[in-house]
């Protein structure tokens, strides 16, 4: 499936984002559009993927922003669940989903985020793939979080196709038609970072293996020369 071209709505929301968020909206960033409150109306983010350096993009061990394609959504709650679709081009691709920079003007409770992942099946139906409430460590997903209640989710996709990630507050559950539970409230703000880690090409694996073998051979020869000189 080819990535979609950015729609007029996408372009308009990016312009609105420049007004609302200023310089914090950069290439690789897209602003949440109104109406993305169901699986069927999920906002596509394919056009935002890039390799821009960003300290807030990574996995559980390193910054991956210049290594793997990533996109950031600037989200603002409006009393609904938020859904974002994206295309996986290759089976075995690993997805990294990270909530950062949460804040809220809602006085009831802080914004405790949850992430839900779905695959789109034929005929418009969807399959629930996984969810996360709290991260294991503040450093999951690199920088950008100051609390463990910022959700972080990893998933390896066995098939290419279109997938959807949904955002909610805690105390939510997966249903057959999306998320059920606590919606993202008015005043809730968040960044959703999506990274797609491709499967290494066979040629790259062969090259890496060849390099390792070559280094081992060179090291062994050097050791033999040192032993001979010592004798």
Domain interval for residue 29: 8-199
pLDDT digits (tens, 9 = 90+) for 56-111: 999 999 999 999 999 999 999 999 999 999 999 999 999 999 999 999 998 678 99
Enumerate the H helices of the chain as residue ranges: 8-21, 202-230
Over 50: is that where the pLDDT of 226 sits?
Answer: yes
pLDDT digits (tens, 9 = 90+) for 157-197: 999 999 999 999 999 999 988 999 999 999 999 999 999 99
If you average pLDDT over every residue of the chain, what do you get? 84
Q: Do 132 and 37 fall into the same domain?
A: yes
Measured between alpha carbons, how far is 188 from 169 in angstroms, rounded to an integer?
10
Q: Do 182 and 206 fall into the same domain?
A: no
pLDDT digits (tens, 9 = 90+) for 109-162: 899 999 999 998 877 678 999 999 999 999 999 999 999 999 999 999 999 999
CATH number assigned to the domain comprising residue 195: 2.60.120.380
pTM, full prediction: 0.77
Q: Do 174 and 195 fall into the same domain?
A: yes
Q: Do 208 and 191 fall into the same domain?
A: no
103 domain residue, yes or no: yes
113 domain residue, yes or no: yes
Q: Do 48 and 158 fall into the same domain?
A: yes
Q: Do 214 and 153 fall into the same domain?
A: no
Three-class secondary structure of residue 203 per DSSP: helix
Per the document, the length of the chain is 231
Whether 46 and 70 have beta carbons less than 8 Å apart is answered as no
Burial zone of 120 (CB within 10 Å; 0-12 exposed, 13-18 middle, 19+ buried): middle
Q: Centre a 10 Å sphere on the Cβ of residue 95 and count the other Cβ atoms it contains.
A: 20
Three-class secondary structure of residue 12 per DSSP: helix
Distance of alpha carbon 34 from its chain centroid, rounded? 20
3 domain residue, yes or no: no
β strands within the chain, DSSP E? 29-31, 43-44, 70-76, 82-88, 94-104, 113-120, 126-132, 152-156, 161-169, 173-175, 178-180, 188-197
Q: Do 45 and 32 fall into the same domain?
A: yes
Q: Do 143 and 227 fall into the same domain?
A: no
130 domain residue, yes or no: yes
pLDDT of residue 8: 42
Phi-psi region of 178 (alpha: psi -120 to 50; beta: other; left: phi over 0): left
92 domain residue, yes or no: yes
The structural domain count of the chain equals 2
Measured between alpha carbons, how far is 202 from 210 in angstroms, rounded to an integer?
12
Q: Do 159 and 228 fall into the same domain?
A: no
1 domain residue, yes or no: no
Distance of alpha carbon 212 from its chain centroid, rounded? 31
**What are the angstrom distances between the C-alpha of 52 and each of 71, 76, 78, 106, 179?**
9, 23, 29, 32, 31
């Amino acid at each position: 499936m080819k990535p979609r071209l950015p729609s007029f709505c996408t372009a308009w929301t990016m312009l609105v984002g420049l007004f609302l968020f200023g310089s914090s909206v950069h290439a690789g960033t897209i602003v949440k559009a109104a109406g993305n409150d169901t699986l069927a109306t999920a906002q596509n983010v394919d056009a935002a993927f890039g390799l821009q350096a960003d300290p807030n993009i990574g996995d559980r061990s390193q910054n991956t922003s210049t290594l793997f394609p990533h996109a950031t959504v600037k989200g603002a709650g409006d009393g609904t669940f938020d859904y974002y679709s994206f295309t996986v081009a290759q089976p075995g691709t690993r997805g990294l989903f990270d909530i950062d920079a949460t804040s809220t003007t809602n006085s009831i409770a802080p914004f405790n985020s949850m992430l839900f992942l779905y695959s789109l099946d034929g005929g418009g139906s969807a399959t629930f793939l996984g969810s996360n409430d709290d991260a294991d460590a503040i450093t999951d997903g690199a920088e950008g979080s100051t609390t463990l209640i910022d959700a972080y989710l990893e998933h390896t996709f066995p098939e290419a196709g279109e997938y959807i990630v949904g955002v909610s507050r805690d105390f939510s559950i997966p249903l057959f038609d999306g998320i059920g539970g606590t919606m993202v409230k008015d005043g809730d703000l968040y960044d959703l970072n999506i990274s797609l880690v491709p499967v290494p090409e066979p040629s790259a694996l062969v090259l890496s293996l060849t390099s390792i073998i070559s280094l081992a051979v060179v090291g062994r020869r050097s050791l033999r020369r040192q032993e001979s000189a010592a004798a």
